[in-house]
Each structure stands twice: as structure tokens, then as C-alpha cells.
């Protein structure tokens, strides 16, 4: 199964945070899953780290490299992904979360999220 992880799950998995649920840890560590991260998540980390957000205190270059080194695949943002946002209901205003939902829909991946607002989207979104 192919999973796209939301930004918080990426950060938590990268540092081995205890905030990861048992289910999230099981899915991330399973040999039967393909893990993806979006270029939009790296962009989000870069912006929020530069703004001084305490929950995003990580070098985005190091995060990206670490994810790649640990078997994650990078998913670029395409025009098709951007166009898909227009088909999403206005459930959530965060543009980073909306592009992740759109990418999961276009690519046929399941988006894993810890955000209850994101989990309200229909389609391939799974709350952990």
C-alpha cells in the first residue's frame, strides 16, 4: 500500500517521537508499505521554521535527506495536483493540507494524518 504522510507525521517519524500512535508506527515500519512525502511538506517546514514555529524546528534540507535515506519517496507537486484542489470542499483552509489531500486523490495514495480537520475529507484519507 502507498501512503503519503502529512507533515506532522513526517516530523514525528523522523525524530522517533512518542507522539506517533502504535498504529502509525506499525504502518510506517511495515515492509508492505511504500512511504511518500510531498515536496509541499518540505516547503511547509521551511516556511514555518523560518517563522520560528517551535513545532517545526528542523532544517528542511536535513529532513528531506533523512527521509530519502530512510526509504521514503519524494512526491513533487504538479499542475494536476494543484487543479484537484478546486474540486475539494472548503473543509480546511490550510493550503499545505489541501495540497496533500489533492495529491493523495490524484495519485491513488492514502494520506495518513493526525489532523481531524483533514480527516473530514472524503476519499483516501486515514486518521491516526
Model pTM score = 0.95
The SS3 of residue 3 is strand
Placement of cell 500512535 in the chain: 21
| Residue range 31-44, pLDDT digits in tens | 999 999 999 999 99
Percent of all residues in the chain with a pLDDT value above 90, rounded to a whole number: 91
Write down the H helix ranges in the chain. 7-15, 22-29, 39-50, 60-69, 79-85, 95-107
Q: Residue 91 pLDDT more than 90?
A: yes
What's the pLDDT score for residue 64?
97
| Residue range 13-69, pLDDT digits in tens | 988 888 999 999 999 999 999 999 999 999 999 999 999 998 889 999 999 999 999
Amino acid at each position: 500500500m502507498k501512503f503519503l504522510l502529512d507533515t506532522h507525521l513526517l516530523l514525528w517519524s523522523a525524530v522517533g517521537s512518542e507522539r506517533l500512535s502504535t498504529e502509525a508506527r506499525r504502518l510506517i515500519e511495515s515492509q508492505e508499505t511504500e512511504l511518500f512525502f510531498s515536496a509541499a511538506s518540505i516547503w511547509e517546514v521551511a516556511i514555518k521554521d523560518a517563522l520560528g514555529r517551535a513545532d517545526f524546528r528542523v532544517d528542511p534540507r536535513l529532513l528531506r535527506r533523512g527521509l530519502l535515506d530512510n526509504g521514503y519517496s519524494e512526491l513533487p507537486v504538479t499542475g494536476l495536483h494543484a487543479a484537484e484542489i478546486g474540486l475539494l470542499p472548503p473543509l480546511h483552509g490550510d493550503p499545505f493540507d489541501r495540497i496533500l489531500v489533492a495529491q493523495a486523490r490524484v495519485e491513488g495514495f492514502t494520506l495518513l494524518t493526525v489532523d481531524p480537520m483533514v480527516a473530514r475529507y472524503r476519499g483516501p484519507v486515514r486518521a491516526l
